[in-house]
Chains A and B, each alone.
Chain A
Amino acid sequence: MEPILQVSGLTKTFHANGKPDFTAVDQVSFLLYPGETVGIVGESGCGKSTLAKLLCRLLDVTEGTIRLCGQDITKARDRELFGAYRNIQMVFQDPLTSFDPRRTLGDGIGESLRNAGVSKTERERRVVELLEQCGLSETFAGRYPHEVSGGQCQRAAIARALAIKPKLLLCDEATSALDVTVQQQIMELLKELREKEKLSYLFICHNLALVQSFCDRVLVMHEGKIVEEGTTDQVIFYPQSDYTKILLDSIL
């Protein structure tokens, strides 16, 4: 089987005037297969979100390559990138700032469908369906991002990412603002899509119990590098790196 995502030697160095260069992602390589779920864990600031933003090309790559569904998207732009977004979508860590404050949540959720040429009535139907899947009533389509709670905004962001039925979903702390009962409901939805639609996930999450219940494999990042990887149980039951051990000892 061909991997859906092939990342090799991926590196991101930030440059800013008057400041030393900062390498946030350092020679990261891994593969992800269709229907597979890979978790990424690691200390706050270790480079997880930067990696995710590189993968969906919101940041320019300093070094290395990204292949998505067999296609090299490392330098993809415009039409090519638009095409890639049918396959890869992202739920951002900061849901509020990921929505345009001047547009309703319904508009935001339906945007990728509009770009794909889906008719207005069909779009409206899909938006309501997506909201309901994420535990929100259809009235939320008409609300603005600042008029909903943190967890409601996060669920709208999940609905938006699912709208175009991507093959790969990058979840950056996608359930971190949800109470455990709603979280459970969202996890059920993600598991169902994995089974029914063969959706693959890259699941960034600091909740190790959640990672354990959802991911096949896990990558542990530390200071921009992958320091440990293996099946989820392997890493959690028999941690190798010091950092992974500290992490497992810190659970409250």
Chain B
Amino acid sequence: MAELLRFEHVEISYGGESVVHDVSFSVKPGEILGLVGESGSGKSTLMKSAIGLLGNNGLVTRGDILFEGKNIPDLSEKELRKIRGARMGMIFQDAGASLCPIRTIGEQIYESMSAHRKISRQDARNQALALFDKLHFKDGKRIWDSYPFELSGGMNQRAGIAIAMLMQPAVLLADEPTSALDVAVQKQVVEEMKQLRDLFGTAILLVTHDIGVVSAMADTVLVLKDGYQVEYGPARQVLEHPMHEYTRKLLAAVPKLRRA
């Protein structure tokens, strides 16, 4: 099938200093790409660049980011807004900071859903509550009426996941989507993201430092170090036969549970 999103020799800098160098990859519909790498290596930067959210000092200085035939860095803010949420969803690394602090989760979900299509508040709520259940929320109605400060770190993270998933985007950019979740909830969230892929053919760019999550989800894996792409290939190959020394170091450092 045709590619949905393609990075071609992308270089990105903040305030003139380049932090991502010559990165190239692509995803097809329904493909899950795992992005792993050292803290500060440029993972979040790559995700934000795909959706035009690098901020005022960030810039794509070289290469192309092609999505549905358009080059993202060339698009106006107005054109980007049409893509964000509806065609490309983003789950931010800092869940708490990415939600609006003065509006309830329900208001934020209704607003994002109704921005791109006609939907009643009641329909939005029903869809959200059904997804909340699957994301292991015990009391969905309370979540719908809560402000972010009334929820825990992992609850806000799941609220962010729900907002992105309810839009059924073509591409989901998920930046550490399960970092604040206990393993039981994490397992459920991983299942739901795979469901989204299976049902709607959503392609997922997944940033995570949890190698267990990568191997449970990813079809392909890209390893980043100091802004350089050091390894890229099918997930099994990269995880079982890492070529680069850094990948080996990364896999060896995973803490493992001893059981009786």
Q: Which residues of B contact A248 (CB under 8 A)?
A: 259
A225–B153 CA distance with the chains assembled, in angstroms:
18
Q: Which residues of B contact A58 (CB under 8 A)?
A: none
B255 adjacent to A210 (CB under 8 Å): yes
Q: Is B253 an interface residue (CB 8 A)?
A: yes
- In the complex, what's the smallest C-beta–C-beta distance from A80 to chain B, in angstroms? 26
Q: Which residues of A contact B209 (CB under 8 A)?
A: 177-180, 183
A247 adjacent to B93 (CB under 8 Å): no
Q: Is A161 an interface residue (CB 8 A)?
A: no
Q: Is A37 an interface residue (CB 8 A)?
A: no
Given contacts A151-B39, A182-B38, contact A96 B185 (CB under 8 A): no
Q: Which residues of B contact A179 (CB under 8 A)?
A: 36-39, 209, 250
Q: Is B1 an interface residue (CB 8 A)?
A: no
B181 adjacent to A184 (CB under 8 Å): no
- Neighbour of A181 across the interface among B38, B150, B213, CB < 8 A: B38
Q: Which residues of B contact A246 (CB under 8 A)?
A: 184
Q: Report how many A-B pairs have Cβ atoms within 8 Å.
A: 141
- Most chain B CB neighbours (cut-off 10 Å) among A43, A152, A208, A237: A43
B249 adjacent to A252 (CB under 8 Å): no
Known: A151-B40, A206-B186. 16 other contacts (CB 8 A): A14-B150, A16-B150, A43-B184, A44-B152, A45-B154, A94-B96, A96-B96, A97-B94, A173-B153, A178-B39, A206-B182, A207-B255, A210-B255, A236-B257, A236-B260, A252-B183
Q: Which residues of B contact A147 (CB under 8 A)?
A: 14, 57
Mark contacts of B41-57 with chain A using CB atoms, 8 A cut-off: 1 yes-contact digit, 0 otherwise: 00110000000000101
- Neighbour of A96 across the interface among B37, B97, B151, CB < 8 A: B97
User: Mind listing 15 A-B residue pairs with CB under 8 Å?
Assistant: A43-B182, A45-B155, A50-B152, A93-B180, A94-B153, A151-B39, A173-B153, A176-B180, A179-B37, A179-B38, A181-B38, A212-B258, A236-B257, A250-B182, A250-B184
- Neighbour of B39 across the interface among A44, A177, A206, CB < 8 A: A177
Q: Which residues of A contact B190 (CB under 8 A)?
A: 252
- Most chain B CB neighbours (cut-off 10 Å) among A151, A178, A182: A151
A178–B210 CA distance with the chains assembled, in angstroms:
9
- In the complex, what's the smallest C-beta–C-beta distance from B14 to chain A, in angstroms? 7
A213 adjacent to B255 (CB under 8 Å): yes
Which residue of chain A lies nearest to B152 when distances are taken between CB atoms in the complex?
A: A45
- Most chain A CB neighbours (cut-off 10 Å) among B37, B96, B249: B96
A97–B260 CA distance with the chains assembled, in angstroms:
40
